[in-house]
């Protein structure tokens, strides 16, 4: 079979790849759709992010869905023809964090298309993947495989919302309107937020956020003063989801947050300098959020029951043979929200 493999920055190839039959407890999935994530783009442009670097060729991709083709022995709940989303997480289940119910913090996590481990865990931009049966989650009949491939980023956002606590009636600020920021708008709206303001430095993604239900979508590069109404008193927002990983976006928010507000840092930003006195004196609560666990199946259920609609985010679908073109398109924020590969 063929796969979309990163060899070095800007060296993305369609390579032949081994295609093992499923062993006991495994299933082989014929992949239909795979979404390009920000981390895939980091591997493509820079060969990694932070201290994580590719040391060997690696198939990219971890937002994938397809159809079960074959099942190994001992797999009772899936059979050939089942439409599934593939959960890219494979926690060990036995380490202290798995046992304490934080499987996303597993000491021995195998996450598809990640160079954090050596050898790297190969990703899902392939014609077929063979995974543990528990990673293949059946989807609702009315859900398309393209939507099912959105389960992973949606799960990230559901997990982030869980870090914030209840959002019912709250005023929510989302900084950064890439696919994750846009999905935070969808999730905050579903969770009952009374007002959702989203900021970015590009107009195109803000237009998508308006369609998704943002109350206000503000370009802070050109119209920063439009945020002034939320500076009243000590600030107005109850919750910030910081989805840009950009220090300027986070710092901008400190004047807009009311005392006691919760900051959920969703974007990875490397080293940042923060106004600690503002955190102390306004009693702000700074929280991290990393990947997801049960939220993957929740994401599929909410989409499958028609409670959340992610279709407006899918801005283009290209055949995987045109992966380089697709990655370049995904990089262009004036044209793209979520770009998917088809297989
Ligand atoms: Zn573990």
Using the CB atoms, write b or e for 142-177: b if 16+ within 10 Å.
ebbbbbbbbbbbbbbbbbbbbbbeebeebbbbbbbb
pLDDT at 49 over 90: no
Q: 51: pLDDT confidence band, cut at 50, 70 and 90?
A: confident
Task: Indicate yes or no: pTM above 0.95.
Answer: yes
Ligand 1 centroid–CA 229 distance in Å is 46
Give the pLDDT confidence score for residue 270 in this predicted structure: 77
Q: Alpha-carbon distance 235 to 273, whole Å?
A: 21
Judged against a pLDDT cut of 90, whether residue 191 lies above it is answered with yes
Gap from CA of 259 to ligand 1 centroid (Å): 37
CA 89 to ligand 1 centroid distance, Å: 11
111 CA from centroid of ligand 1 (Å)? 12
Judge whether 284 and 260 are in contact, CB under 8 Å: yes
How much is the pLDDT for 300? Answer: 98
pLDDT one-digit tens code per residue, 264-286 = 999 987 788 899 999 999 999 99
Distance 261 CA to ligand 1 centre (A): 32
**For position 246, what pLDDT does the model report?**
92
Q: What is the pLDDT of residues 150-182, one digit of tens each?
A: 999 999 999 999 999 999 999 999 999 999 999
Tell me how crowded residue 300 is: count the other CB atoms within 10 A of its CB: 25
Q: Please state, rounded to an integer, the average pLDDT across all residues of the chain.
A: 96
Q: Distance, CA 283 to ligand 1 centroid (Å)?
A: 33
CA distance 21 to 150: 27
pLDDT recorded at residue 272: 87
Tell me, in angstroms, the distance from the centre of ligand 1 to residue 92's CA: 4
Percent of the chain predicted with pLDDT > 90: 96
Mean pLDDT of 293-321: 97
Distance 107 CA to ligand 1 centre (A): 5
* pLDDT (0 to 100) of residue 269: 78
How far is the centre of ligand 1, averaged over its atoms, from the C-alpha of 95 (Å)?
A: 4
Q: What's the confidence (pLDDT) of residue 188?
A: 98
- Average pLDDT on 47-58 reads 93
Cα–Cα distance for residue pair 291/6, rounded to 1 Å: 22
Say how many Å lie between the CA of residue 156 and the centre of ligand 1: 19
- State the pairing for strand pair 48-49/52-53: antiparallel
Domains of the chain: 2-150+310-342 (3.90.180.10), 155-288 (3.40.50.720)
What spacing in Å lies between the alpha carbon of 91 and ligand 1's midpoint?
Answer: 5
Secondary-structure percent of the chain, ordered helix, strand, coil, rounded to 5: 30, 30, 40
pLDDT digits (tens, 9 = 90+) for 78-115: 999 999 999 999 999 999 999 999 999 999 999 999 99
76: which residues sit within 8 A by CB, 6+ positions away? none
Any idea what DSSP says for residue 166? Answer: -
Largest CA distance in the chain: 64
Give which of 265, 300, 61, 63 is closest to 173, Cα–Cα: 265
What's the confidence (pLDDT) of residue 50?
A: 82
Classify 23 as helix, strand or coil: coil
What is the CA(75)–ligand 1 centre distance, in A? Answer: 22
Which H or E element spans position 138?
Answer: strand 136-138
Residue 122 CA, ligand 1 centroid: distance in Å: 19
C-alpha 311 to ligand 1 mean position (Å): 33
What was the pLDDT predicted at 111?
96
CA of 10 from ligand 1 middle (Å) equals 33
pLDDT category at 259 given cuts 50, 70, 90 is very high
Strands 26-35, 64-71: pairing kind: antiparallel
CA of 152 to the centre of ligand 1 (A): 19
Angle of CA points 126, 128, 131, to nearest 5°: 110
User: What are residue 9's phi and psi, to 5 degrees?
Assistant: -50, 130
Cα 240 to middle of ligand 1, angstroms: 30
Half-sphere exposure at residue 255, Cβ-oriented, CA atoms within 13 angstroms: 12
CA gap 242, 175 in Å, rounded: 5
26 CA to centre of ligand 1 in angstroms: 19
Ligand 1 center from residue 93 Cα (angstroms):
5
């Amino acid at each position: 079979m063929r796969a979309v493999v990163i060899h070095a920055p800007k060296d993305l190839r369609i390579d032949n790849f081994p295609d093992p039959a499923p062993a006991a407890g495994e299933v082989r999935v014929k992949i239909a759709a795979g979404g390009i994530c920000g981390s895939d783009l980091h591997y493509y442009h820079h060969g990694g992010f932070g201290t994580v670097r590719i040391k060997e060729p690696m198939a990219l991709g971890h937002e994938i869905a397809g159809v079960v083709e074959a099942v190994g022995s001992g797999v009772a709940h899936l059979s050939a023809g089942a439409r599934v989303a593939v959960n890219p997480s494979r926690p060990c289940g036995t380490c202290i964090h798995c046992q304490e119910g934080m499987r996303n913090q597993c000491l021995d996590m195998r996450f598809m298309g990640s160079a954090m481990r050596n050898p790297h865990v190969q990703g899902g931009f392939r014609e077929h993947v063979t995974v543990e049966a528990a990673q293949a989650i059946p989807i609702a009949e009315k859900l398309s495989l393209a939507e099912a491939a959105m389960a992973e980023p949606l799960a990230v956002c559901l997990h982030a919302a869980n870090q914030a606590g209840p959002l019912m009636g709250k005023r929510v600020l989302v900084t950064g309107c890439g696919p994750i920021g846009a999905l935070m708008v969808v999730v905050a709206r579903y969770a009952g937020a009374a007002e959702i303001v989203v900021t970015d430095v590009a107009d195109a993604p803000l237009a998508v956020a308006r369609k998704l239900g943002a109350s206000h979508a503000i370009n802070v590069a050109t119209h920063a003063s439009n945020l002034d109404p939320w500076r009243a008193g000590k600030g107005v927002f109850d919750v910030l989801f910081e989805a840009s990983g950009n220090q300027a976006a986070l710092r901008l928010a400190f004047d807009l947050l009311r005392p006691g507000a919760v900051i959920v840092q969703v974007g990875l930003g490397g080293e940042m300098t923060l106004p600690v006195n503002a955190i102390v004196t306004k009693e702000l609560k700074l929280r991290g959020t990393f990947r997801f666990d049960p939220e993957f199946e929740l994401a599929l259920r909410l989409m499958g029951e028609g409670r959340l609609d992610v279709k407006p985010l899918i801005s283009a679908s290209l055949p995987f043979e045109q992966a380089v073109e697709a990655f370049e398109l995904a990089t262009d924020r004036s044209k793209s929200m979520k770009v998917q590969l088809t297989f």
